Chain A
Amino acid sequence: MRILIVDDLEANRLLLSHLVEVHGHVPITCGDAEQALQAYDNHGADLIFMDVVMPGIDGYVAAKQLKDKIGDYFVPIIFITALQDEDALVRCLEFGDDYLVRPFNQIMFNAKIAAHIRTIDLHRKAQKQHEELTYLHTRLIQEQEMAQHVFDHATQVNYQNCENIQTYISSASQFNGDVLLIAKSPAGGVYVMLGDFTGHGLPAALGSLPLSQLFHSLVLKQLSVGDLAREMNRTLGEFLPDYMFCAAVIAEFNAAGNKMRLWSGGLHDSLIIDDKHEVQERISSLHMPLGILEDEEFNTECVEFNLQENNKIIFYTDGILEASNDRGELFGRQRFEAALQRSMCDIEKVRKGLHRFTGHEVGVSTQDDDISLVCVNTGKITFKKGKDKASGQEAYESLRAAIPWQITLKLGMPELRSGSPVSQVVDMVSEATGLYSHKPALVLLLVELFNNALEHGLLELHSSLKDEPDGYIGYYAEREKRLKSYTDGQINIQITHQLKSSGGQLLFHVQDSGAGFDFEKVTESTSEEKHGRGLSLVRQLSDSMSFSDDGRCIDVVYVYTND
């Protein structure tokens, strides 16, 4: 330790230096305040002994000047004085940290030094920890900002594009332990999932990442809500530690918005609100939360509801019931349902009502738990155009310009026997820029054209076979038989993509090596018969259809415009 000794008498300085050196410390001696300040600048010090009465600047003032220079750093100043009056000693403690009254004995002096060294060590340890904490805190904030960015983008897609759905989401901390997922179903309806993970903040939010990814991929398969729940349960079981789980409700609405299938585990009652804004039905959870049960124990049972026009379905997490005001009162179920009724399920008004109750300003987050509130209006499910976040394929398409192209396929008997080559062709075509959203129509067109060429053209099957008893089975048995036994035969398909000013067109040219047929007769059949629908469908779906080469050749034009 470097110990600064400030005294105007040389005898005192020598004595103190000696005592300090005996214990292995390094003395730095000065005769007055100015020298002391200079010495501190040059050498620094861990501890200072200061005489009170000195000519010029006295010890108190010198101590103050040194303390100012030292700043936040902790360097104890011990006054050494012959003064004994209380007032002088109080000032010693005011300007310095301790005092020693002359004459003192060596034991007392050593004990003082030892005591102050302990304090210095303690102080330095605290200082170091403080620096480490500051560093870690800064790093944590940076990491959280990064994580938040990822979460926001991974979990909050498609929040607002379904026009039937109103939401209010408010998290207790930077990360939301509630997860709300909304996605359009392939059948034109909508899937809604609201989940509440154990706890809140980052640990709770972690589970929402795999859930969100899984949800969007399963919805594309139009899985039932029960099966959706099972998949999520399995995934969460793998991801989450045992003490974490996710209370959730998963609902699917049909395209007309008058039917709801619901799987519910561990969340509060979902509500059906009638057109008079009264609670018509409370739907209790049938199951345990996700992420608890093993797959073989899991129950996919769900409930189905027929909904009236102007019904509203309310899903919420417990944060809203447990929101409290300054008096510790909870918002509670009664206030919540009354707020829904008064506001006619206007989620924005319910939110304001909640803030009036809790007394918290909007946006000031002092709540204890995450709050999520979702209202689904019944009736035809509609989505905002344009704001739809593009799906993978659509996003990809937007990066590429459409181009004209042509493909030609020559399918011989081996290819025709190997199953339906059409799905491959359709995949190729719909991969092309601009055509993805037309895939269903293109599949149907190609399937019908192909089957017509194969069954009626090449295999010479006559639809009247279907009119005999068990005709349908007979027809397809015969198809199978001829497909195996025929050795010669070919179907050529040529597809041409042309661009137009606001879209484009596809020209299908399909030719078979069969005997041809009387196309004028075939195309006149009506829908009341069990056959002949294939070509009439093609005519309906396309913009023009014509035969040539005695029915061996068919040309179809499909025109599309870009939305």
Chain B
Amino acid sequence: MSTVVSSTQKGNLLEIGISGRFDFSILQDFRNAYTLDITQPIEKIIIDLTRSEHMDSSGMGLLLTLKKELKMDSGCIELQNCRPHIRDALLAARLDHFFKVD
């Protein structure tokens, strides 16, 4: 299953949905999601991982890149609906310091 990245902006909130594998293979699509068609400054980002079945360290790298590029504060990026093993991996990498893991 190839990965699909979708995004919608609602005011200052940006919602990004990842469906499929979350790793470096989606680099370009993922960056496009928060750089193209951005009409207002983004204050909060919700990343919905309901339909993402796998994330590795390169995927986590993408998340950190996003945080750095947009100069977002910790806690302003929320990772929602993680599958248990993805959640475990995020906590193992202690990324919960930077991202709100639902």
Which chain A residues have a beta carbon within 8 Å of chain B's beta carbons?
Answer: 186-189, 221-224, 254-256, 440-441, 443-444, 447-448, 451, 466, 472-473, 476, 527, 530-531, 533-534, 536-537, 540-541
Contacts and interface: CB of A to CB of B under 8 A. Distances in A.
Given A222-B50, A472-B65, A473-B27, A444 B93 contact: no
Interface of B: 23-24, 27-28, 31, 50-51, 53-54, 56-58, 60-62, 64-65, 68, 81-86, 88-89, 92-95, 97, 102
Contacts of A447: 23, 56
B56 A451 contact: yes
Contacts of B81: 187, 189, 254-255
Contacts, number: 78
A186 B92 contact: no
Contacts of A186: 53, 83
22 contacts: A187-B50, A188-B84, A189-B81, A221-B51, A224-B50, A224-B51, A440-B84, A441-B88, A443-B54, A444-B85, A447-B56, A448-B56, A472-B65, A473-B27, A476-B24, A530-B61, A533-B93, A534-B56, A534-B58, A537-B89, A540-B93, A541-B92
Contact of B85 (A223, A254, A441, A527): A441
A540 B92 CA distance: 6
Contacts of B65: 472, 530
Nearest to B21: A423
A530 B92 contact: no
A527 B68 contact: no
Nearest to B56: A447
Contacts of B54: 440, 443-444
A444 B27 contact: no
Contacts of B82: 187
Contacts of B85: 440-441, 444
A536 B56 contact: no
A418 to B, nearest CB: 14
A188 B93 contact: no
Contacts of B97: 527
A472 B68 CA distance: 12
A472 B25 CA distance: 12
Contacts of B92: 537, 540-541
A222 B51 contact: yes
B61 A533 contact: yes
A537 B58 contact: no
B93 A536 contact: yes
A255 B27 contact: no
A443 B97 CA distance: 24
Given A440-B54, A527-B94, A527-B95, 16 more contacts: A186-B83, A187-B50, A188-B84, A254-B102, A256-B102, A440-B83, A444-B54, A444-B56, A444-B85, A448-B56, A451-B56, A451-B58, A472-B65, A527-B93, A533-B93, A534-B58
The 4 closest A-B pairs by CB, nearest first: A440-B85, A540-B92, A534-B57, A533-B57
Nearest to B95: A527
Nearest to A445: B56
A465 B64 CA distance: 15
A440 B53 CA distance: 9
A446 to B, nearest CB: 10
A537 B58 CA distance: 11
A255 B86 CA distance: 13
A224 B48 CA distance: 12
A386 to B, nearest CB: 19
Nearest to A527: B94
A117 B92 CA distance: 94
Nearest to B55: A444
Contacts of B28: 473
Contacts of B64: 530
Contacts of B24: 476
Q: Which of B92, B94, B95 has the most CB of A within 10 A?
A: B92
B37 to A, nearest CB: 19
Given A530-B68, A537-B92, A540-B93, A448 B57 contact: yes
Contacts of B68: 530
A476 B65 CA distance: 13
Nearest to B23: A447
Contacts of B93: 527, 533, 536-537, 540
Nearest to A477: B27
Nearest to A419: B25
Nearest to B83: A187
B83 A188 contact: yes
A536 B61 CA distance: 13
A189 B51 CA distance: 12
A388 B85 CA distance: 20
Contacts of B23: 447
Contacts of A254: 50, 81, 102
A262 to B, nearest CB: 15
Contacts of B51: 221-224
B53 A222 contact: yes
B57 A466 contact: no
Contact of B61 (A187, A441, A472): A472
A541 B56 CA distance: 12
A549 to B, nearest CB: 23
A534 B83 CA distance: 19
A451 B102 CA distance: 28
A255 B50 CA distance: 10
Contacts of A531: 61
